[in-house]
Every structure is written in structure tokens, then in C-alpha cells.
Structure 1
């Protein structure tokens, strides 16, 4: 058996370090420079450093805080719904999938479609004048809600996001739930644990790491959501569906405020790092107990 010498570990890591420096380090440095500069598309090559005015503009912009609140709510609500529904389906369908594993393929179909295509599809289906759903609601019930107006757009987007990405959480939970050893369940049954007690006292604690990971992945993905919202509603009526990603996009491409857009992205990046580090430290502290 070959033991790795102290110097060999650094040698093995050097390709990864070089990759990170080339493909992540340089753009990060450029973004930091742009975030403290007065820059436009005409002066991209020669930005004029002007201090932290871009950060002040972002933090004093009520639209930034409104977009942040939208992204936070959207990320938490969709992550909770996807994990709860995905866990229920993983447990409920476990006996069926154990006998007919081919059923997993059609259940994963929503993951095969690009989010932007999902947004376009539902934009056509829910369109107030041309969409089939409002048409049949008018035909059968005499009325139909405006699914994409300022009052209902958030709920509509939450439902669409949940429908598309619940299969992802379901796949993770099904894999973890199926991996629980049979002898663990049998031992618990011998101790009198059945039904709800078996689920809450034995099975859920065993798949808890998967639950946490799935929630974090779905929250991060929901928090930075862009493509399906942009294709479905854009910024929305009165900015009602402006996420942080759409806020940055509009500042960069529509307003031409490159420094402001980059400053907002840097703030988002720093906050994300702090949140991830805090959650990692919390999980490590619980693991040490």
C-alpha cells in the first residue's frame, strides 16, 4: 500500500487550484474591480475606480430589498413544499417502486425539460386570453383568476417551480429511504416500533442528512431562480416577480448600470458564503455532540 507523502498531497491538488484560479479567480477579481468602479459598456476595458458608491446605491435601493424578500420567500416556500411532497411520495410509493422500478422514469420527466421551456409552456397554458386553462374555467364556472397578475403571480410561480423540481427531492429521498438496511427495520419491529413510531424514530433520523442536503440544494436553486420566472412573467406587474437574479439582469442589460449590477451580485455572493458557512458550522457542531 502506497502512503501519500506530505508533499504529494499539494502536488495532487495543484491542477484543481490552477483551474479555480484561471476560471474563477480572474472573473472574481474583475467583478470586484467593476463593483467599485464607474463603468459602462464603452469603458469595460478601462473602468474608473470611484469607491463604494455602487454598494451604497444597491443597499439604498428599495427595489433591491424587495427583490431580496421575493427570492428569500420563494426559496424557502418552494424548498419546503418540494421536500415535504417528495418525502411523502418516496415513502408512499416505495413498495410500488420496489416491484416496478421502471415507473421511476416517467416520474423524472419534469427534470428533463429546461426551466425556460417550462416557463414558456405555462405562459401559453395560463394566458388570460389565449390559454386553455382560463378558457375552460370560464366555460365551466363562469370565471377564472388571472394567474399571472400581481396578486396571483407569486403563488403561480411557486406551484410551477414545485411541480418541476419535486421529482428531484423525491429521487434523493427514495434513494436514501431504500438504502435503509432491512435488519434495522426488523430490529425496530422486534422492539415494538411500527407505523408512525418506526418512521419518526428510526427511518427519518437515518435519512436526515439527505433531507438537509435536499433542502439546501432546493433553497439555493429557488433563491437564485431566473430562467423560468423570466420566461413566464419577467419582472411582473409593478415588479411583483422581480427576483434578485432578475434585478441584477435588469440593472446590467436594461439600465446599463454595470457597476451597480456587479455590486449586487457581489453582495449576493458574500451573503451566500456566510449562510453556507454558518450552516456547515452548525451541522459540524451538532455532529460533534
Structure 2
């Protein structure tokens, strides 16, 4: 079957991307596969000994791995849901203001402009039990202050920090989706005397379902693989209370010298993220088809 001119043009445009992936990603991926199936240390990186799936078995049998998975799963789900809920509410509530004064968008996007590691260091200083200004003033005004970074409170502190930084990302996605809804649809609903909440629930939110699904998927993946701000703020935490899966891989690789096990854990993280992204893509396609059919 002969290709059409459009198909040839599409393949020609994709060729540079395919070449980039083959050149810059295929070799590291191949090395990771070899290391994940090998008994390898920093001394034997050039001559790894193939041991099959033993590294995967050791990782899956490690209780710390499952504790890190549970932390990352809770963290990813909570931060994704809270960020998307806040971002959606802000996008709807602030849409008239942002539409009239475009410069307000730059202010709202400021938290995203700071590197996550710098955010972690900043909050580590602000929340430090002995030197932090927030615990000092809370003790001064209320007589007591919680230990924000101890084993009991560190998880929720990290959730709040993550939400404060990345809610603007969700807000940006939802704002674009919200203003792209044709005004004629809202005007027709208003002429039918539909109330504001009914327009939101029956018209606007269904038209934004694909964007909501994508935002949830992206933020969950980003939260699940979190490293920068957690490492800068608490590290693995007291007793490993804040050890995410990425920090578990870091400790296994650099501190434990278990390169094969660390690469095997990173491969499991990659496949988990890929599965979530694939599921989000399928859900988006399904929602788009339902919207078109409706």
C-alpha cells in the first residue's frame, strides 16, 4: 500500500525525534537493563556479572521498598487531588479577573518558577524547630508549636509544600480549558434560565473532563516520583518516615552501593509511571469520544 503525501510528510517530520530518541536514550536504557540484571558495584561497573532477575526479587522482598511505595502512592494521590481541586476552583473563580488583567497570571505562576530543591531549603529554614520563624512566633503567640518536620507531621508538611508550589500548574491547565469553552453555550444556558451551579455542573465541568483527567495523571506522576523538595526538606525523615521511592533509589545507589538493586527499583518506578500515563491517555480518549457522541 502506497503512502499518501501527508503520511510521507508526517514520517519525515517525525524522523528527527526518532533519531534523537535512538541516539540519546537507547544507550542509557540498554545500560540500565544490563545493570538491573547484574551484580554490579562502583568497582565492577565496567564488567557487571549477570544474575538474572535476582535484583528485582531482592527489591520486591525489601520492606523498605514497599514502605517507600506506600509513601509515594499516598503522596501522589493526595497532592494530585488537592492541587487539581484548588486549581479548578481558582480557575473558575479568578477567570474574569485574569481575562481582564493578564498580568495577574504572571503573579500566580511565580511559585512554579522556583526550583523544588530551593523550595525545600526555604521551608526547611522557615519551619526549623529551633531556628525557624514560624515555630518561634507560634510559640510566642500561642505558647506551643508543632514540630513540623518530625515523624508524625513531616508527611503533611510535605503535602502542603508540594500543593503550594504546584497548584498554579493545575490552575494554568484549567484556566485555558475554561476560557476555551464557547461563550455561546453559556449564553444559551442562561437564556434557558439555568442557574450558575447547574451550568457549571452540567455544561462546563463535562467539557473539561479530559483536561481534569490529564491534570490528575500528570500531577500524580510528578508527586509519585517526588525527590527534590522532599530530599532538601527532610531527606528520608526520622525512621524513614518520608522516604519516597525516588529517595529509596538514591540511598540504594549512592549510600548503599547496590547499583543493580537501585536500577531495578528505578525500572519498576518507570513502568509504574508509564502504566499510569497510559491509563490517563486511555481515559482521555474515552472521555473525548463520549463528549463528541453527546
Task: Normalising by structure 1, report the TM-score.
Answer: 0.95
Pair 1:130-2:134 in alignment: no
Give the drift of 1:191: 2.0
Shift of 1:182: 1.2
Alpha-carbon offset, residue 192 of structure 1: 2.3
Q: Deviations over 1:79-136 (max 9, x none)?
A: 1101111111111111222222221111111111110000000000000000000000
Counterpart for residue 49 of structure 1: 50
Decide whether aligned partners of structure 1 residues 84 and 36 sit closer, same or farther in structure 2, where only a CA change above 3 A counts. Answer: same
Contact 2:213 2:283 in 1 (8 A): no
**Residues 231 and 65 of structure 1: CA distance in aligned 2, closer, same or farther (over 3 Å):** same
Distance 2:86 2:289 in 1: 31
Number of equivalent positions: 287
1:20 aligns with 2:21: yes
Question: Which residue in the other structure is 1:217 paired with?
Answer: 218
Shift of 1:240: 0.3
CA contact (8 A) 2:210 2:287 kept: no
Cα 1:169–1:8, aligned 2, differ >3 Å: closer, same or farther?
Answer: closer
- Quote the Cα distance in structure 2 between the aligned partners of 1:285 and 1:142: 54
Alignment of structure 1 residues 28-43 onto 2, 5 Å = 28-43=29-44
1:164-203 equivalences in 2 (<5 Å)? 164-203=165-204
Flag structure 1 segments of 5+ consecutive residues without an equivalent. Answer: none
Change (3 A) 1:52 1:131: same
Structure 2: stretches of 5+ with no match in the other structure: none
**Which moves more between the two structures, 48-57 or 156-165?**
48-57
In structure 2, do the counterparts of structure 1 residues 179 and 233 end up closer, same or farther at CA, with 3 Å as the change threshold?
Answer: same
- 1:73-152 maps to which residues of 2 (within 5 A)? 73-152=74-153
Q: How much has 1:197 moved relative to structure 2?
A: 0.2
Shift of 1:287: 4.3
Q: What is the root-mean-square deviation in Å for CA atoms of aligned residues?
A: 1.5
Rounded to whole Å, the distance in 2 between the matches of 1:88 and 1:252 is 41
Give the whole-Å Cα distance in 2 for the aligned partners of 1:85 and 1:6.
42
1:286 deviates by: 4.8
Q: Aligned partners of 1:104, 1:286: CA distance in 2, in Å?
A: 29
TM-score normalized by the length of structure 2: 0.93
Q: Which residue of 2 aligns with 1:226?
A: 227
Greater mean alpha carbon deviation, residues 114-123 or residues 40-49? 40-49
3-state SS of 1:42 partner:
coil
Structure 2 counterpart of 1:239 = 240
Separation of aligned partners in 1, 2:282 and 2:187: 35
- Residues in 2 aligned to 1:124 and 1:285: alpha-carbon distance in whole angstroms: 46
Q: Counterpart of 1:4? A: 5
